[in-house]
């Protein structure tokens, strides 16, 4: 006789959408979790016989999906949510965001702002975010405190800031943060040169050398606005993507953020070089930057993930909303209702983001051996009734108000809509403190 195997958690739900294999919907299955890893996914009855869990959770009328991967954000900027709305990118950056950052951003700002962002992201079913901001060590601490998974960007920008004096200093400080936290299983790292118009060639060459040595992604704003391309042409004589090509930066390690304005040749080039794209539709819409040619990028086999960008340019960190907007926009833009299907949108928000970060062996889908990063959505809500196609519902009907529980590495970070590792009263106090400080000293 064999005895049931001891595990940490058996999680049963009415439906599971594992994302891999594509299009699969499992009915009345359970996920067996031990030491943060998915040990088995099996029909409920079979799993109950096979395992002896310390904790047995049954979620009627719930759908389990992989935790959402936010492929581009500046988490700490949640403290600047709504600071300067209804402005174009360059004016928004030059007159409002950068001056406010110069005055106020320090380790405490980044720690508080990142925790505020983590609270919002977890409440919206996001379990991993790819960050780009000053004081990445404070962002790493905030992620560790919260329990969320994070890809910490080692930011590089030509301008001096309170954080670093020049591009070498940015690189040195970023690499020191990586050295300090690299053993931590929930943290990964990438280089985060801000944009072609804010990083010089010499710095790009150093970033490339380090990225190749360490096999880390390079995460950069790219072809976001027509202004950026005009500045590139005026200062270098070539378009930014061509400049990055000449600098040998186009590779499977590159994550081009936004990629709104592209020629056909540039789309082919990005595809040939195996680059990934972080599509941020809400941010592009709000800053009036244009519509990225997502359907064409997908047709050419480019790995396209989704990002929220920051709360200063969105103003929500809501990946369920980004999925819906991305799917709707691509249809109107292409004139084809079949462009960017619900399946594709869900894949973008999960596995494509994980792949761009080099984490697709660990997260992005619910399969045996991967981390138990899971989001549970409550489908009992009358607003989700009836449901003929569950995956379509996830993209076109579900909102973050339907997110009930979230696990990262098998640990429940959201339970019945309540955060288990963050004190929302304290977070509210901290956000109010920063609002008063930024509001009274001008921005």
Strands (E), 44-143: 51-66, 68-73, 126-131
Q: Which residue is nearest to Zn ion (CB)?
A: 309
d(CA 229, CA 239): 6
**Cβ 244 to Zn ion, closest distance in Å?**
17
Which range binds Zn ion by CB under 5 A, 16-24, 46-54, 307-315, 435-443?
307-315
**Cβ 186 to Zn ion, closest distance in Å?**
22
373 sits near Zn ion (criterion: CB under 5 A): no
- Residue closer to Zn ion by CB (options 47, 319) is 319
Q: Is 65 exposed, middle or buried (0-12, 13-18, 19+ CB in 10 A)?
A: buried
- Residue closer to Zn ion by CB (options 309, 378) is 309
End-to-end CA distance of the chain: 71
Phi, psi (deg, nearest 5) at residue 305: -100, 180
What's the chain's length in residues? Answer: 443
**Cβ 6 to Zn ion, closest distance in Å?**
45
Count of residues that bind Zn ion according to CB under 5 A: 1
Which range binds Zn ion by CB under 5 A, 10-18, 94-102, 207-215, 302-310?
302-310
Instruction: Look at residue 52 and give its three-state secondary structure.
Output: strand
- Residue closer to Zn ion by CB (options 289, 375) is 289
**Cβ 39 to Zn ion, closest distance in Å?**
37
**Cβ 285 to Zn ion, closest distance in Å?**
14
Partners of residue 42 on adjacent β-strands? 30
Decide: 143 and 128 in contact? Cβ < 8 Å. no
Which range binds Zn ion by CB under 5 A, 142-150, 211-219, 226-234, 304-312?
304-312
Which range binds Zn ion by CB under 5 A, 153-161, 186-194, 303-311, 434-442?
303-311
For Zn ion, which residue of 12, 131, 309, 322 counts as binding (CB under 5 A)? 309
**Cβ 366 to Zn ion, closest distance in Å?**
29
* DSSP for 406-443, written as a single string: EEETTEEEEETTEESS--HHHHHHHHHHHHHHHHHS--
d(CA 294, CA 289): 14
d(CA 309, CA 283): 6
Which range binds Zn ion by CB under 5 A, 183-191, 206-214, 301-309, 340-348?
301-309
Unique residue bearing structure tokens 């006789």: 1
- Residue closer to Zn ion by CB (options 63, 278) is 278
Q: Which H or E run contains 268?
A: helix 264-272
**Cβ 126 to Zn ion, closest distance in Å?**
16
- Residue closer to Zn ion by CB (options 101, 309) is 309
**Cβ 181 to Zn ion, closest distance in Å?**
22
> In terms of Cα–Cα distance, which of 54, 143, 200, 84 is closest to 422?
143
- Residue closer to Zn ion by CB (options 309, 409) is 309
Residues at the contact surface with Zn ion, assessed by CB under 5 A = 309
């Amino acid at each position: 006789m064999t005895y049931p195997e001891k595990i940490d958690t058996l999680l049963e739900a009415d439906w599971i959408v594992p994302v891999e294999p594509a299009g699969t919907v499992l009915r009345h299955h359970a996920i067996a979790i031990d030491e943060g890893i998915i040990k088995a996914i099996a029909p409920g009855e079979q799993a109950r016989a096979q395992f002896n869990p310390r904790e047995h959770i049954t979620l009627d009328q719930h759908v389990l999906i992989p935790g959402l991967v936010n492929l581009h954000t500046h988490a700490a900027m949640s403290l600047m949510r709504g600071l300067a709305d209804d402005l174009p990118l360059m004016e928004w950056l030059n007159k409002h965001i950068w001056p406010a950052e110069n005055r106020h951003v320090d380790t405490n700002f980044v720690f508080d702002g990142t925790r505020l962002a983590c609270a919002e992201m977890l409440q919206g079913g996001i379990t991993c975010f790819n960050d780009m901001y000053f004081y990445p060590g404070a962002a790493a601490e905030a992620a560790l405190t919260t329990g969320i998974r994070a890809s910490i960007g080692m930011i590089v920008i030509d301008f001096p800031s309170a954080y670093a004096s020049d591009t070498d200093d940015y690189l040195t400080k970023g690499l020191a943060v990586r050295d300090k936290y690299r053993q931590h299983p929930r943290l990964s790292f990438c280089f985060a040169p801000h944009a072609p118009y804010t990083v010089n060639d010499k710095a790009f060459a150093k970033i490339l050398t380090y990225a190749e040595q360490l096999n880390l992604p390079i995460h950069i704003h790219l072809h976001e606005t027509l202004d950026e391309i005009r500045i590139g042409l005026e200062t270098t004589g070539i378009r930014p993507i061509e400049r990055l090509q000449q600098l040998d930066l186009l590779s499977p390690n590159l994550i081009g953020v936004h990629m709104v304005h592209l020629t056909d040749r540039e789309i082919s080039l990005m595809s040939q070089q195996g680059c990934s794209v972080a599509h941020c539709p809400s941010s592009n819409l709000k800053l009036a930057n244009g519509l990225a040619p997502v359907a064409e990028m997908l047709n050419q086999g480019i790995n396209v993930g989704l990002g929220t960008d920051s709360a200063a340019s969105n103003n929500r960190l809501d990946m369920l909303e980004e999925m819906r907007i991305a799917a709707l926009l691509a249809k109107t833009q292409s004139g084809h209702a079949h462009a960017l299907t619900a399946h594709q949108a869900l894949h973008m928000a999960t596995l494509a983001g994980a792949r761009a970060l080099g984490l697709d062996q660990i997260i992005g889908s619910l399969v045996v051996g991967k981390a138990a990063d899971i989001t549970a959505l409550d489908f009992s809500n009358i607003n989700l009734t009836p449901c003929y196609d569950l995956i379509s519902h996830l993209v076109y009907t579900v909102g973050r108000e339907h997110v009930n529980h979230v696990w990262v590495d098998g640990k429940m970070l959201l339970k019945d809509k309540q955060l288990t590792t963050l004190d929302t009263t304290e977070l509210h106090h901290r956000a109010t403190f920063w609002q008063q400080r930024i509001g009274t000293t001008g921005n």
